Copies of this chain bind each other. A is one copy, B any other.
């Protein structure tokens, strides 16, 4: 992947991170309202780019205008959500234990705790979300909200889109009188630039969305540091969907329509794409697959994000279909041009799936593999053999769930989000969303990349003991000048 932007050198990266560190310190002096307005202004400036931005993104990513328009709304919505989170203020987890000077044998000191930002954060733009997980996406918005400075490495596949969003952020920096380097934007296509960004002295944390190999490499770079830093890599996920018998019997046509849409939405280029389906062998399962086949046939091939992703899809789907015991349920046969993808549904027995690790790998694109199991016990064994996931879905009646208690019990241990009768491809941006999951879905299952709690990736607690009131941060002062929810002497108070 190449573009016209100048590749950054390792030496320049160290200078960028040094400037980011200086800007971080200045940014910490800004008030909460100044930071909130800054986030709102970035959203406004992105909107002010108008159709030009959407058109450029569509040219670079092959994503349709409607999808990109929706994604832009999500991106500006996220920025405004974090601005509101700052104003609401309880996210800092202010906790106060007041002194008991008369306690024996030792007086109890005054102790006050809150979350503070880690420092400069490096964000690697994702290829599949040119707005929402890229330059001004969720990682950037949450890190700025935390009070961190940010350095984004543009994804080379949509570098011009990234550059346009960067210009919007620069305008917001200028009009809000923020430190110039609170946000910086670099272009790099080499492993060396990624490594240097993770290993620069002043880098305090890293956010990444992409391949398993890429995500693991960033973690390795961090562990080689003198002081390892948190690396939040969101990597592969095949997002298992379990179809239970009663619902298959009752609703196979509706299920097929719903899943044909979910599997092929955005040509399957979502982290939450359902790449694995599971069911117990039955006539109803065959009926479902017939319906699914009919629905998939109707899907028009469309261009993938870029040539690299297309080539990987061709290779990985080809490899999967070559495995012993794998049969094709449907493969769209329309002639394809250029970097278009053909949706594929494949099928394999539980026993064969269990024996072949290749079938457990993600095929990024409009591909899904149905594992037909001989009975519920085999289905449970298959489910246990699958590694950590972003999502796991169960399609069933309430009666189905009650009849499969052992299986349902397993689900929370498998994934960050578990769904009942839905498709995992929609990710709601809200406080209760978890976009994250056990390794290797992400490198740290304790954090989400979507929703207000994404801010918790970029902070750590600090405790002030007997600190003079006048020098305490506002969130910890006695009279609660920010009027935020706090835990005071073990009680929630405002």
Contacts and interface: CB of A to CB of B under 8 A. Distances in A.
Interface of A: 25, 88, 90, 95-97, 106, 108-109, 111-113, 116, 118-119, 219, 223, 227-230, 387-388, 398, 401, 408-409, 412-413, 415-422, 426, 428, 430-434, 436, 438-440, 443-446, 448, 453, 456, 459-468, 470-471, 485, 487, 490, 492
A9 to B, nearest CB: 27
Nearest to A417: B463
- In the A-B complex, the 9 residue pairs with the smallest Cβ-Cβ separation, listed nearest first, are A434-B463, A113-B432, A419-B465, A417-B463, A95-B432, A227-B439, A111-B432, A445-B460, A97-B430
9 contacts: A95-B431, A111-B430, A112-B432, A229-B439, A416-B460, A417-B465, A420-B464, A432-B487, A492-B492
A119 to B, nearest CB: 8
A468 to B, nearest CB: 5
A401 B472 CA distance: 12
Q: How many copies does the complex hold?
A: 2
Nearest to A396: B468
Nearest to A119: B413
Given A108-B428, A111-B430, A461 B446 contact: yes
B462 A415 contact: yes
B463 A433 contact: yes
A72 B102 CA distance: 22
A439 B228 contact: yes
Contact of A465 (B422, B431, B461): B422
A438 B460 CA distance: 9
A446 B387 contact: no
A111 B413 CA distance: 18
A88 B487 CA distance: 13
A466 B430 contact: no
Contacts of A470: 398
A443 B77 CA distance: 35
A306 to B, nearest CB: 27
A95 B470 CA distance: 34
Contacts of A465: 417-420, 422
A36 to B, nearest CB: 16
A428 B228 contact: no
A223 B220 CA distance: 9
B464 A428 contact: no
A418 B388 contact: no
Contacts of A413: 119
Nearest to A435: B463
Q: Which of A118, A416, A438, A463 has the most C-beta atoms of chain B within 10 angstroms of its own C-beta?
A: A463
Contacts of A95: 431-432
A492 B90 contact: yes
Contact of A420 (B90, B432, B466): B466
Contacts of A227: 387-388, 438-440
B467 A446 contact: no
A18 to B, nearest CB: 14
Contact of A434 (B412, B419, B462): B462
Given A111-B430, A229-B439, 13 more contacts: A90-B492, A95-B431, A113-B432, A223-B223, A227-B440, A401-B468, A417-B463, A418-B462, A419-B465, A420-B466, A431-B487, A434-B462, A446-B461
